[in-house]
Amino acid sequence: MLRPLHATLLAALFALAARPALAADTLVVCTEASPDALNAALSTANTSFDVSEQVADRLVEMQPGTANLRPALAESWDVSTDGLTVTFHLRHGVKWQSNKNFKPTREFNADDVLFTFGRMQDEKNPWHAVGGGHYGMFDSLIGSALKGLRRIDDYTVAFDLKAPYAPLVPALTMQSFAISSAEYAASIDKAHGDRNAYDLDPIGTGPFQLVQYQKDSLIRFRPFHDFWGAKAQPDRVAKVGQLVFSITPDPSVRFARLKANECQIARYPNPSDIPEMRKTPGVVVQEATIASMGYLGFKVTQKPFDDVRVRQALAEAIDLDGLVKAVWQGTGTPTASLVSPVLLGYDPTLKVRAQNIEHARKLLAEAGLADGFSTDIWAIPVARAYMPNGRRAAEMIQADWAKIGVKAKIVSFEWGEYLRRARTGEAPVAMLGGTWDYPDPSQQMMAFTCDSMTNGRNMPRWCNQEYSDLVARAGSLSNAEERAKLYRQAQEVMYREVPLVLFADSKAYVPVRSNVHGFKLHFLGGQPFGGVSLAK
């Protein structure tokens, strides 16, 4: 029988043997979870966006590390005088990647744009239902505004809108709107292949090509040497021989691996580890103020959460100041505004509800629940800037609710499963959130409109027509001041109706090894690793 020490050493050796050999110019990024989809069109999660950011391109993108728009697969665009048509002039000479089952015979053109958006928009499209047929970002952000697309010629595409829609161009910077290959799809159909392979082995036009994915283990990329951006976007060119996402759920383990130089970038650190990170030789901590929102949502279509008095009681029972201090540990500030302070439409007049146990009990009694009730509370299983420690936050909420007679059982799942179940409405009470993926308040505000009830983003299943109308009106205007006024009015409706409890405005921190060059913490959407190099 092996002694414990020998068994531990043997296990470690087996682990090392199983780990693929990495070249000296391999950039290893310790990430927190597996993506729920490799095609970001099917996802609303940053784990998916991070993959797409390396592999694929959009018509419009953002300068890494900033909120500035810049041309990508579209070299330019025009908006008609009536605001109903946005015409994109596409880039020439863009090559597609290949894989073992597909070799492209042509370059990117208008057919790819029409295929990408046609799949998402048209339920009769034969590719619409592939991968589950859920396009949360498309449905909630541009689907209701988009009338259709027109192919003007090989390199010109027009987006026709039902009404003027100011957020369209910024929204198209999101990874969910990355352009995919129509020829690749056609080749699968011609071979009578499995259409699911299209999303499981994606190709794109980006700086890296996906090589390998092992769920809960790693994602491996190699440079795409025919990347069109070598001249147009040199800051996005792959500068390492390999890029590896090493999936490491525990933030303390990510930090330990960073210190051991097993990874050169460790994402989503524990706030409590940041002081030590700053003192660690060979480690530099980057930080940025981010546009994010994290919340605890109540499923308002389910009793007793259909009663606003119950929702208000649960909100007032939470010691939000204490929770943010304990969980964010100096990296967040309690908030009641859905819109971040760094964005148009922030509402500083909305005040965080102070804990008021006596009034919360009174509200429950008025709702016929003087003795309380039992519920589940779903705790986010991964660290995020908008929720650094879901389990700890859930335990604190659980303790606060016990003071008003509400018994909460904490539930969680693997991240992809958590998202799937939450989107389909299983959770009575759940933590969710997100960072803004483009610099316009509409993105997260539209997640709670009536139109988002069926696309998985509206976890509370809250449909308030006043709120929805205000958000829709704001999106139809070009005047920033008028838009901001409407967004603040919409947030006041949400504050009054309490479909959710917001947590904190956050900062993002990423520790990197000092030999990493060119990395810029990007706080909107997926994190790019093109342009990042390792000093020899």
107 pLDDT exceeds 90?
yes
Following CA atoms 221, 225, 227, 229 in sequence, which dihedral angle do they give, to the nearest 10 degrees?
Answer: 110
pLDDT at 164: 92
Query: Average pLDDT, stretch 108-132?
Result: 96
Gap between the Cα atoms of 241 and 239, Å rounded? 7
Question: Per 3-state DSSP, what percentage of the chain is helix, strand, and coil (rounded to 5)?
Answer: 35, 20, 45
pLDDT-derived band at 323, boundaries 50, 70, 90: very high
Query: Average pLDDT, stretch 118-144?
Result: 92
What would the pLDDT profile of 171-205 be if each residue is shown by its tens digit?
999 999 999 999 999 999 999 999 999 999 999 99
- CA neighbor of 133 nearest in space, from 337, 451, 423: 423
pLDDT-derived band at 344, boundaries 50, 70, 90: confident
pLDDT at 10: 36
Half-sphere CA count of 377, side-chain side, radius 13 A: 27
DSSP string across 272-286: GGHHHHHHSTTEEEE
What percent of the chain clears pLDDT 70, i.e. is strictly above it? Answer: 95
- CA neighbor of 487 nearest in space, from 498, 501, 474, 502: 474
pLDDT at 364: 98
15 pLDDT exceeds 70?
no
2 pLDDT exceeds 70?
no
88 has which bridge partners?
77, 157
| Neighbour tally for 250: CB within 10 Å | 13
439 pLDDT exceeds 90?
no
Query: Average pLDDT, stretch 26-38?
Result: 95
pLDDT-derived band at 1, boundaries 50, 70, 90: very low
pLDDT-derived band at 521, boundaries 50, 70, 90: confident
What would the pLDDT profile of 162-171 be if each residue is shown by its tens digit?
999 988 999 9
In 137-263, DSSP assigns E strands to 146-153, 156-161, 208-214, 218-223, 242-247
Gap between the Cα atoms of 105 and 507, Å rounded? 45
pLDDT-derived band at 227, boundaries 50, 70, 90: very high
23 pLDDT exceeds 70?
no
Peptide bond into 275 cis (omega under 30): no
pLDDT at 20: 44
* Extents of the domains making up the chain: 27-268+514-534, 292-507
Domain 292-507 has CATH 3.30.450.20: no
pLDDT at 4: 38
- CA neighbor of 445 nearest in space, from 345, 335, 517: 345
What would the pLDDT profile of 347-377 be if each residue is shown by its tens digit?
999 999 999 999 999 999 999 999 999 999 9
CB 264 within 8 A of CB 534: yes
User: Is the pTM here over 0.75, yes or no?
Assistant: yes
Domain 27-268+514-534 has CATH 3.50.50.60: no
pLDDT-derived band at 441, boundaries 50, 70, 90: confident
